Amino acid sequence: MTQSNSRRHFIKTTAVLAVGSLASTAFSKSGIASTLFGNSFGSGDTKFTLPALHYRYNALEPHIDALTMEIHHSKHHQAYVNNLNKAMEGLDFFKLGIAPTLPGMFANMSKLPDSIRNNAGGHYNHSIFWHLMKPIGEKAPIGTLADAISKQYGSFDEFKKQFTEASKTLFGSGWAWLIWKNGKLVITTTANQDNPLMQVDGITQGTPILALDVWEHAYYLKNENRRMDYISAWWNVVNWELAEDFYVAAGK
Ligand code: MN3
């Protein structure tokens, strides 16, 4: 094998392994792994691309408006993708021993520059955020996740209250999450475009089940500074079916 072939082989093998393990922990049942990570090799062979939205920009109206969705997806998410590709160009992933994939980068966040952390996070977070919403949501959790939420929080209303509070009080830009960690559901938040999969200083928070973008760009056009209105509206479009799939996969 020539050096460049062996390098390519390493990148492909590690990329497939990394994507494979993420697929088995979070996407096995939902079947959206290829949508989200099919183009995630990034360095060398393929660049990251903006995944198509699986519903129209106006599909979440009246809860989330079409213009916000269009700008958020086609401008903001696209910028994370472009900047991620740009940030990866200057790095030798082979030399670093890091797979140039989202899971590969998340597992080595402390060794990579902030440009990767911000943009790989931005790309991943938005990719799952779009999927975790749908035009006619279930309005409440279903299946085993519904049972787990009731058991742990007493009721869905109590969970909703706590998740809403965490989202509302997050200072500045960031994300609210429901994650699975050490056999428990946990409500948590991250700043900027960080996410619970990122290993920072040796610590990974857990596996995402639910994600809410509370950056102002997610709601300012419609709700101006009223983040609470946006959070209340968002509960109507949560894709609880996918959240259940994530929960089932994460619990294995
Ligand atoms: Mn956003």
Mean pLDDT by 10 residues, the chain (252 residues): 40 36 38 44 64 95 97 97 93 92 91 96 96 91 97 98 97 96 94 93 87 95 92 97 93 72
Distance 10 CA to ligand 1 centre (A): 33
Distance 205 CA to ligand 1 centre (A): 20
Distance 219 CA to ligand 1 centre (A): 9
Distance 145 CA to ligand 1 centre (A): 26
Strand, coil or helix: 105: helix
pTM for the model = 0.84
Widest pairwise Cα distance in the chain? 60
C-beta of residue 173 within 8 angstroms of C-beta of residue 215: yes
* Angstrom distance (rounded) from CA 231 to CA 214: 8
Distance 217 CA to ligand 1 centre (A): 6
* Angstrom distance (rounded) from CA 26 to CA 127: 13
**Distance of CA 144 to CAs 85, 129, 174, 240, 241, Å?**
38, 21, 28, 11, 11
**Distance of CA 218 to CAs 65, 154, 169, 200, 212, Å?**
10, 30, 16, 26, 10
pLDDT of residue 252: 64
Residue 30: exposed, middle, or buried by beta-carbon count in 10 A (0-12, 13-18, 19+)? buried
Distance 213 CA to ligand 1 centre (A): 6
**Residue ranges in the chain assigned as alpha helix (H):** 3-22, 33-37, 66-71, 78-89, 93-96, 102-106, 114-131, 143-153, 156-169, 220-223, 227-234, 240-250
Strand, coil or helix: 173: coil
Distance 210 CA to ligand 1 centre (A): 15
Distance 218 CA to ligand 1 centre (A): 5
pLDDT of residue 137: 77
The pair of three-digit structure tokens given for residue 50, joined into one six-digit string:
């903006």
Distance 83 CA to ligand 1 centre (A): 15
Q: Which amino acid is at 35?
A: T
pLDDT of residue 7: 42
Distance 73 CA to ligand 1 centre (A): 8
Chain centroid to CA 133: how far?
Answer: 12
Distance 126 CA to ligand 1 centre (A): 6
pLDDT of residue 172: 94
Distance 9 CA to ligand 1 centre (A): 34
pLDDT of residue 46: 65
